[in-house]
């Protein structure tokens, strides 16, 4: 499935070859105007001069990127030093997204494996159970998570009532809460590709390994994992990418100390900062990072498709 989806699936026939252009035209036009053109416009805006109450002045300027990478002091005439504030926010986002990815992998891999080894009939139902929460409004899921984890929330109440702890554990407004929120937001993206890979795995390979006295752990590490690696990489990228640019989980669960890229960008447009070119530049940096990751992913998928025949 993952391989077919990556290339858009193959054409089955050419029945409607003559009208193909007309069939595709609405999609081309809509997406070119509403996605492609806006991204180009964003690139242009990142090189314009900021207007103080939001918006831009149409004058070329490198100020946005300069502000992002360099610190020139309060009046802008000190020698340029590297500005760490925004690089640190990006670094924290990468770190948080990475931690959420590892958490998702640690729980998602066994889950995907377990589902893929169920009888064929019940697998679809298991997959359905895993994906239902994904379709529930992300905002509502994040709010629910916050409610559950609050100092006076049901989780702490429960732990105090059974006598496990004396005073509430502070989870909300920590890094861990953000990671948990991200894990909760994107877990199906980890489970589904790994599930698809394990489902295609030929278990006679494991049997052969067992016949040659390989332990179960060795079989998992040396035979199964290398075979399903494309699925694992796909899952990691699909969790990492949206986590890095996420806004709701860090905003609602992380508090002001755990600022991530999403909040930095939002503040330029909706908040008090009101610096559109800077927001556009930060978005460009984020998008470039993501596209590089996705290109790596596409190459890796193409290679595994070739290897798979």
- Find the binding residues for another protein in span 169-208 (CB under 8 A): 183-184, 187, 203, 206-207
| Smallest gap from residue 43 Cβ to another protein (A) | 9
Nearer to another protein, 74 or 162 (CB): 162
Q: Which of 81, 170, 229, 270 binds another protein (CB under 8 A)?
A: 270
Pick out residues in 79-118 that bind another protein (CB under 8 A).
107-108, 110-111, 113-115, 117
The answer to whether 136 contacts another protein (rule: CB under 8 A) is yes
Nearest distance, CB of residue 72 and another protein, angstroms: 25
219 Cβ neighbours under 8 A, 6+ residues apart: 206, 209, 210
Report in angstroms how near the CB of residue 116 gets to another protein at its nearest.
9
Which of 2, 63, 105, 138 is in the footprint of another protein by CB under 8 A?
A: 138
* Interface positions, 4-43, toward another protein (CB under 8 A): 4-5, 7-17, 19-21, 23-24, 26-28, 30-32, 34-39, 41-42
Number of residues that bind another protein (CB under 8 A): 100
Binding mask 275-294 for another protein (x = CB under 8 A): -x--xx--x--xx--xx--x
State yes or no: residue 267 binds another protein (CB under 8 A). no
């Amino acid at each position: 499935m993952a391989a077919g989806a990556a290339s858009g699936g193959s054409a089955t026939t050419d029945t409607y070859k003559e009208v193909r252009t007309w069939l595709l035209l609405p999609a081309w036009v809509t997406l070119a105007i509403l996605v492609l053109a806006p991204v180009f416009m964003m690139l242009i805006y990142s090189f314009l001069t900021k207007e103080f109450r939001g918006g831009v002045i149409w004058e070329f300027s490198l100020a946005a990127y300069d502000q992002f990478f360099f610190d020139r002091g309060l009046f802008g005439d000190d020698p340029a030093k590297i500005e760490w504030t925004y690089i640190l926010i990006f670094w924290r986002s990468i770190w948080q997204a990475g931690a959420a990815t590892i958490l998702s992998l640690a729980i998602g891999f066994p889950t995907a494996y377990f589902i893929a080894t169920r009888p064929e009939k019940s697998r679809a139902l298991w997959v359905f159970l895993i994906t239902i929460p994904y379709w529930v409004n992300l905002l509502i899921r994040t709010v629910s998570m916050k409610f559950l984890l609050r100092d006076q929330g049901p989780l702490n109440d429960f732990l105090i009532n059974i006598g496990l702890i004396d005073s509430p554990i502070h989870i909300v407004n920590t890094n861990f809460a953000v990671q948990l929120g991200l894990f909760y937001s994107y877990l199906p993206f980890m489970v589904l590709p790994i599930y698809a890979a394990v489902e295609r795995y030929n278990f006679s390979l494991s049997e052969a390994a067992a016949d040659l006295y390989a332990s179960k752990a060795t079989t998992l590490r040396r035979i199964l994992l290398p075979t399903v690696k494309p699925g694992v990489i796909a899952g990691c990228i699909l969790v990492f990418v949206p986590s890095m640019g996420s806004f709701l989980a860090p905003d609602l669960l992380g508090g002001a100390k755990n600022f991530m890229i999403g909040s930095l960008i939002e503040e330029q447009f909706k908040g008090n900062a009101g610096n559109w070119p800077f927001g556009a530049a930060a978005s460009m940096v984020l998008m470039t990072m993501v596209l590089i990751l996705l290109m790596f992913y596409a190459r890796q998928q193409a290679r595994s498709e070739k290897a798979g025949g």
